[in-house]
């Protein structure tokens, strides 16, 4: 019963951290991508070089470094996961913005006297978020795996807080002794959630493709 209650409590923490981290990454990455893609010039060069530096490292290794720098804690985990995911969104949104800003309706809006902020908010931003809506659910699954991996290594939430990765770590010695029920349930819960986010992302991708072809 204690394992079951901790499993349910950990679901709230894992899902909350994953969704919050991806939401923060989307906001940061979208803002950077909008600026880089629309303004171009040296702003684009500087921002994209920063993105290149972040993406030069394996994502989980970078998450380990940021987590070790910031320390344990739920808020720090959200910041860590968001920081290592934001560059991917920045590059994705930048590519969309660079193609959208050349379209006739954007030129018409600029010609009619709309401000840069107005053009970005009314025309460029809504049309550049389609791939983000598809990638974000998939990214939630990766965020949960990252959180579990950090907690498994002792860089995530602190014991006695319930978290699936920490539960797997604490129960791993029991698996060798034949007491599998301490580690297998949180592992299965993590598998189901990641698979669910993956299926959701694929469904959104198929819907976006169908809408694009129609």
pLDDT in tens, 180-203: 888 888 889 999 999 999 888 888
Long-range contacts, 72-75 (Cβ 8 Å, 24+): 72/155, 72/156, 72/157, 72/158, 73/157, 73/158, 74/13, 74/17, 74/157
Mean pLDDT of all residues in 34-47 = 88
The pLDDT of residue 19 is 95
Judged by average pLDDT, the poorest of 73-77, 160-164, 173-177 is: 173-177
Q: Where does the pLDDT of residue 205 fall: very low under 50, low under 70, confident under 90, or very high at 90 and above? A: confident
Assign residue 183 the CATH number of its domain: 1.10.3720.10
| Token representation of residue 167 | 């539960």
pLDDT in tens, 87-142: 999 999 999 888 888 778 777 877 777 777 777 888 788 888 888 888 898 899 99
Query: CA neighbours within 13 Å on the CB side: how many for 162?
Result: 16
Rounded to whole angstroms, how far apart are CA atoms 150 and 148? 6
Rounded to whole angstroms, how far apart are CA atoms 106 and 110? 6
Largest CA distance in the chain: 73
Rounded to whole angstroms, how far apart are CA atoms 82 and 162? 21
Nearest to 184 by CA among 197, 194, 174: 174
The number of distinct structural domains making up the chain is 1
pLDDT in tens, 141-166: 999 999 999 998 888 887 677 888 88
The pLDDT of residue 147 is 93
Mean pLDDT of all residues in 69-83 = 91
Burial letters 155-184, b for 16+ CB under 10 A, else e: bbbeeebbbbbbbbbbbeeeeeeeeeebbe
Q: What is the pTM of this model?
A: 0.88
Apex 32 CA angle, 28 and 35, nearest 5: 145
Rounded to whole angstroms, how far apart are CA atoms 13 and 186? 13
Range of the domain at 144: 2-213
């Amino acid at each position: 019963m204690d394992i079951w209650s901790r499993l349910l409590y950990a679901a709230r923490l894992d899902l909350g951290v994953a969704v919050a981290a991806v939401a923060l990454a989307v906001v940061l990455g979208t803002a950077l991508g909008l600026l880089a893609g629309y303004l171009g010039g040296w702003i684009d060069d500087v921002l994209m070089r920063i993105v290149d530096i972040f993406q030069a490292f394996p994502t989980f290794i970078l998450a380990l470094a940021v987590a070790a720098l910031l320390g344990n804690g739920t808020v720090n985990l959200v910041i860590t996961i968001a920081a290592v995911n934001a560059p991917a969104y920045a590059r994705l949104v930048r590519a969309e913005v660079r193609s959208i800003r050349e379209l006739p309706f954007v030129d018409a809006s600029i010609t009619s006297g709309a401000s840069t902020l107005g053009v970005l908010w009314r025309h460029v931003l809504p049309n550049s978020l389609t791939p983000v809506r598809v990638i974000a659910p998939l990214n939630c699954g990766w965020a949960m795996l990252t959180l579990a991996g950090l907690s498994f290594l002792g860089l995530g939430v602190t014991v006695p807080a319930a978290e699936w990765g920490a539960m797997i770590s604490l129960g791993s010695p029991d698996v060798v002794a034949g007491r599998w029920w301490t580690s297998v349930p949180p592992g299965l819960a993590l598998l189901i959630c990641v698979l669910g986010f993956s299926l959701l992302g694929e469904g959104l991708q198929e819907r976006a493709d169908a809408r694009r072809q129609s």
